[in-house]
Structure 1
């Protein structure tokens, strides 16, 4: 069985890190601080398994009947994770009230542990593998999100998409520092490495724009409620072309059974006015990011993310072949 034919493990399919902290795992003093800020004790906690952060991600039920969604992480499992939570807190606090995102109620930072507390919405992540009705709801919501966030709301302290330029240099890195494992991952990519590296140089010019992008839309960052579609986890927010969120989302959606990315792209309003070569350049850069990352050791505390990245990288490469690269 080739790499392309391998069926992803169920945790890969569902984007689960399997590394969540539970409410009792938090230090006693931190739990006391959270309950003090909430003004009520926690009587139950339901963990949300999707995603890769090695921290708490739970709906907390309080003694007074309220519910909130809480995230908390320290530097112990992964030294980068608290910084990601800090950035999410800063961005979530700035997002307009009309944005389809849960409201940030408050955050806490003691220098190591970072806690974010949001309103708890009644809903669920999309069913995986994707079912057509939910897929279509999310794709339609992406259209609405792009329209609502163009131009980016004024006053937001959010980076331009240029912030990804170093990360989106995977093919050039592999060209400079060859890795024989690339041929095992995808022989076509190994044979076309120089061409892929050339295409990759064009991605940034192609992706610049004036839309506030989520930057990491996948099933575990989507919440379906009775009255709408909400997008959660915004630390990767940036400003770029309106169609970029769609292109970044399609590899994971494809890997999780939503359908062929080219067909979904071709029929989507966000892509209608986008230049074909511009989209190809971004897919190439995204493929290089995922494939090159998948060849690295897993980051501390996040053991399953490399398999998830590899599966998306392979989806990108198949997509590029469909596009005639």
Structure 2
């Protein structure tokens, strides 16, 4: 099982719940009637994530929302996906529709499953190749990296996720503040196993709403940090983007990555999202605690 896939998909709605004018507009752009819709697992946000079967035999993937908290994420993802060149491991965006209050993204459908722990090396390879393909960045979203957060939390709040982090809170704040996120790579920014699809032939990276431009190593370190199989230090030493990173850079990323996740775990109103963030944050902290240059 992937890191948290059992917690995802709890707020999805059916394609039939989308207003008829929106469904009609999608069918018009597709040039074919929808004959069947399969709700798909994955994701935390409220909205549609579905496989649509068309009367002409094609399948497409649609995600749609009218939730004010999610619409801008979909709009942002549409801009990013439209900038991808052939070769980027992401399903092609066919079109986007902004039909206030609904935002709809329609992608080519790929026959693949959510990645699980045994797939992590393949996802890591895909992330490494993707960093090369997306440098220099083909799009430059204004999105800030979702990194850092310990400075906003009290010791008791942090202790709810990690007693070790609470005991080393001052060091973690200093580590996350010391980092420079300058770079020229378009990064996914949310690259966990539940945002990767795998088939026998290839890996697809999906859900680009949190993309940002920064150092090429960030996505691959995110993939490594969640490893429940191969030790992260082994992955670190074997990857071209990370093997020569100065130890303080790795430590600083892990601290900032965990800081974001712990803050999210403490403040999220969705219990599933909070549990997922706490689990992922603890994985980064577990690795950091074992690093020779970590806070002690």
- With normalisation by structure 2, the TM-score equals 0.91
Equivalent runs, 1:18-97 vs 2, <5 Å = 18-75=10-67, 79-97=68-86
Q: Which secondary structure does the structure 2 equivalent of 1:295 belong to?
A: helix
Equivalent runs, 1:159-178 vs 2, <5 Å = 159=142, 163-164=144-145, 167-174=146-153, 178=154
* Match in the other structure for 2:165: 189
- Displacement of 1:11 after TM fit? 9.1
- Displacement of 1:306 after TM fit? 0.6
CA deviation map 1:262-302 (0-9, x unaligned): 3322222220222211111011011111112211141xxx4
Alpha-carbon distance change, 221 to 11 in structure 1, aligned in 2, over 3 angstroms: closer
Gaps of 5+ in 2: none
* Match in the other structure for 1:260: 231
Q: Is the 8 A contact 2:120 2:223 kept in 1?
A: no
RMSD: 2.1
* Match in the other structure for 1:210: 184
The worse-fitting range, judged by mean Cα deviation, of 180-189 and 101-110 is 180-189
Alpha-carbon distance change, 13 to 64 in structure 1, aligned in 2, over 3 angstroms: closer
The worse-fitting range, judged by mean Cα deviation, of 178-187 and 315-324 is 178-187
Q: Is the 8 A contact 1:222 1:230 kept in 2?
A: yes
Alpha-carbon distance change, 231 to 290 in structure 1, aligned in 2, over 3 angstroms: same
Q: Which secondary structure does the structure 2 equivalent of 1:270 belong to?
A: coil
**2:135 and 2:50 mapped to 1: Cα distance?**
32
CA deviation map 1:188-213 (0-9, x unaligned): 2112111111111112x1x3222121
- Displacement of 1:226 after TM fit? 4.2
From 196, 199, 206, the counterpart of 1:225: 199
Alpha-carbon distance change, 303 to 38 in structure 1, aligned in 2, over 3 angstroms: farther
From 120, 125, 134, the counterpart of 1:140: 125
- With normalisation by structure 1, the TM-score equals 0.84
**2:238 and 2:54 mapped to 1: Cα distance?**
45
1:290 aligns with 2:261: yes
Count residues with an aligned counterpart: 293
Q: Is the 8 A contact 1:11 1:17 kept in 2?
A: no
* Match in the other structure for 1:314: 282
Alpha-carbon distance change, 72 to 187 in structure 1, aligned in 2, over 3 angstroms: same
